[in-house]
Chains A and B, each alone.
Chain A
């Protein structure tokens, strides 16, 4: 099955700085890589995802990059704001055929704190 490693486990930045969270995966057949944000006491919510046919995707202040050769993908948040403070999870599909069955394996999560 898929193994997803996420680093760092905690990240503290000043408002306006950039934040980068990195994940590595083990299954070379994986071709879909979503990122989720979970605020305290809330459900995880999809914030951005990338498919393996592109190397980078941006949505306003967030971007995801993918390196399929090295089997890693990263979340980049620019101009961080206090409301970006949350736990962020990366994920990759596992099981026979990569995304065939839709199951996601999640990283262990990164607690991001943005100080005003």
Chain B
């Protein structure tokens, strides 16, 4: 039982490049989330998907897009990376009401 799996673990991008962060969960959770974590800023919600087929913006959505591919998978795309997007990105999933929030191992992204 893997829980929440994120790929890649590390990535270095040049400004203007694009990439997709992948996330998959095997806990049969309905809801999935993408957070970014910056020093001193805690965890900030980028986008979330309350259930399969729906997505919505969180606190800091600018510069990102998401796709809820099916119940298991939720991807985050950076279309044109900027240095301000250097951060650690965490995917998470939960059951109804936010119970049992489980995080993936994170992606450390550096944009140069």
Contacts and interface: CB of A to CB of B under 8 A. Distances in A.
B2 to A, nearest CB: 13
A14 interface: no
A18 to B, nearest CB: 24
Interface residues of A, number: 25
A99 B43 contact: no
A48 to B, nearest CB: 13
Nearest to A90: B42
Name, among A1, A44, A89, the residue most crowded by chain B CB atoms within 10 Å (CB to CB).
A44
Contacts of B98: 32, 93, 99, 101-104
Interface of B: 31, 33, 35, 40-45, 48, 50, 58-59, 90, 94-106
Interface of A: 1, 6, 32, 34, 36, 42-46, 49, 89, 91, 93, 99-109
Given A104-B101, A105-B45, A109-B42, 10 more contacts: A43-B90, A99-B98, A101-B31, A102-B31, A102-B97, A102-B98, A102-B99, A104-B45, A106-B42, A108-B41
